[in-house]
Structure 1
Amino acid sequence: MQTWHLDPTPAPQPLAADSVALLLQAPQDDAPGATLLAFLNRLTAVDYLSLVEYLPQPRSPLAAPELVEGHARPGLANVTPDCFQRYRQWFWREDEGTRLAHQADRRGGGLAALHVQAEDIHVASWRSEIYDRAHLSARLSFFYEPVPGTTFSMNLYRDRSHGGFAADEIARLLAVAPLLRQAHRCVLRSSPAAARPTSRDQQVERAQATLRRKAPELSARELAVCARIACGISADGIAAELDVAPSTVITLRKRAYAKLSARGVTGGRLQLAAFLH
């Protein structure tokens, strides 16, 4: 396991024009994480990418991770939603990345990185349920605040068929981490989620009304859950507001995404926000 604290200021990079074009394109895309994954694959093989936001939860000092986007390289099944669900349910408190995420939040504008190989995972069930089940060999994560008051991680994974990240590959990815952070900042500033009503209740009401109109196939409870996801509320926060168990929220979310997939929404807050726009 390795950690770094990086200079968040982008340094000059010898990038091809088509790679730069992908960074510039990301804020205009409905699934910017997929565009960033394509950019990374111009540098080295990255099989999966997940964007995770850390959101406050009731009665806890720890902000909890919530999946915003998850993508696979073309030709691979997207295992990120299933892996994240298991991670969120059982393992996130054991993760060194959780500490780094909260540290990045305190540092204000900092950029931290974490490299973990499957054999570094000290919790056997975590290694089995995620890394072994999904055939993952390694993870490289960046923790940062793209805009003030937010904390995100961008997590890059390797399939076992590609082995782990070699030292020179890690160096290339660390070098572009500030550019990824900057691109993500542009995504958030251009996202429809940034144009919000004055209160969260108004935001939820508007999101729910729009969802009801655009996705009438959703049940009332699925609407309630999806509207709150689009508004950036964590699963625990949704459970508390709706007075249901967190597992019920996860079940309703899965049902809703299964229905919304026909409309091009496969999961994640930014996709829902874009769908509502």
Structure 2
Amino acid sequence: MQSDQSITAVSAMVFADSLRAAGTDAFSAAVLTALNTFVAVDHCTLVSVFGQKATMAGAASLNSKPDALRLTEAYVGGYFLQDPLVRAEISAAGVRRDGPAVRSVKIDEASNAEYFERFFRKPSISDKLSVVVPGTDAISFLNLYKSTQRGRFDAREKAAISSIGDFLAALTDAHGRLSAAQSVSAVPPELLRRWQTLLSDREKSVARLLGRGETAKTAAAMLDLSPTSVITYKKRAFAKLGIARQSELVALVTLLG
């Protein structure tokens, strides 16, 4: 690990492989390797939260532990909603969009025992630091974890991560955009054309939310519409896209990212 030299000065060098890996499955591992040149991080995950849904954009562990991947899958499967930081950011969405930030939230073991047991005690995790990247319709979390063997993030490490928070946010955003572009290329050309040219912005917003698992009621609340209006927009979107099943919408939204 490097001493207290200027983190900003070395970032361009140590993150070169991360930049090259953006948009690929190797991204998280490259970021983890780069971070460990100046701070101690055992695990790294990248999660995107869309309202009440989440997706895993990447995960890596220094020791390639399979448990880290399984835990991340469980996390995006629903446990992320028990994460105090995620809950705080979801509550603030639409109220505060002050750009990326490096945040740490202490887990209250007494009131969140199951979450603490599953994601901290059992996998021997002692601390978590997150780079939070607000987006137009999603919030990305670059989560950095320390094992109990390494202790907690100290003041120097937190300052080091904070000093390149904007850079890590931009890197995370680039990875997301490149991944999305690759996904879009897998959408049948005619279906993509219909999505881009026939659907109104409101129809796209409704379709995205429903395709990510929101109900008509929750989508209506998020878009300030009535559930009846959401259903109307859904029917219009289905007709314009030429699809008839919810599973087709889910597949399309997944590919579009």
If the TM-score is normalised by the length of the shorter chain, which range does it land in? 0.5 to 0.7
The answer as to 2:2 corresponding to 1:13 is no
For residue 95 of structure 1, what is the aligned residue in structure 2? 83
- The 3 A distance-change label for structure 1 pair 193 and 164 is same
Unaligned runs of 5+ in 1: 1-10, 56-61, 204-232, 243-268
For residue 150 of structure 2, what is the aligned residue in structure 1? 162
Distance 2:123 2:184 in 1: 37
- Of 43-52 and 18-27, the range deviating more from structure 2: 18-27
For residue 110 of structure 1, what is the aligned residue in structure 2? 99
Paired amino acid for 2:20: Q
The answer as to 2:171 corresponding to 1:183 is yes
Q: Any idea what SS the aligned residue of 1:79 has?
A: helix
Q: Percent identity of the aligned residues?
A: 20
- The 3 A distance-change label for structure 1 pair 72 and 20 is closer
Cα pair 1:86 1:129 within 8 Å, conserved: no
Cα pair 2:47 2:57 within 8 Å, conserved: yes
Paired amino acid for 2:87: R
Residue 89 (structure 1) shift:
4.8
Paired amino acid for 2:49: Y
Residue 99 (structure 1) shift:
3.1
Runs in 1 of length 4+ with deviation above 6 angstroms?
A: 197-201
Distance 2:110 2:128 in 1: 11
Q: Any idea what SS the aligned residue of 1:22 has?
A: helix
- The 3 A distance-change label for structure 1 pair 141 and 120 is farther
Paired amino acid for 1:46: V
The answer as to 2:138 corresponding to 1:172 is no
Aligned residues: 198
Residue 167 (structure 1) shift:
1.3
Unaligned runs of 5+ in 2: 1-5, 193-210, 215-244, 248-253
For residue 79 of structure 1, what is the aligned residue in structure 2? 67
Cα pair 2:7 2:160 within 8 Å, conserved: no
Cα pair 1:50 1:70 within 8 Å, conserved: yes
Cα pair 2:128 2:143 within 8 Å, conserved: yes
Cα pair 1:91 1:126 within 8 Å, conserved: yes
Deviations for 1:202-229, whole angstroms, at most 9, x for unmatched residues?
36xxxxxxxxxxxxxxxxxxxxxxxxxx
Q: Which has the higher contact order (CA 8 A, sep 6+)?
A: 1
Distance 1:117 1:50 in 2: 18
The answer as to 2:124 corresponding to 1:129 is no
Q: Any idea what SS the aligned residue of 2:164 has?
A: helix
Cα pair 1:25 1:35 within 8 Å, conserved: no
Alignment of 1:32-51 (within 5 A): 32-51=27-46
The answer as to 2:133 corresponding to 1:138 is no
Cα pair 1:33 1:71 within 8 Å, conserved: yes
- The 3 A distance-change label for structure 1 pair 63 and 120 is same
- The 3 A distance-change label for structure 1 pair 20 and 112 is closer
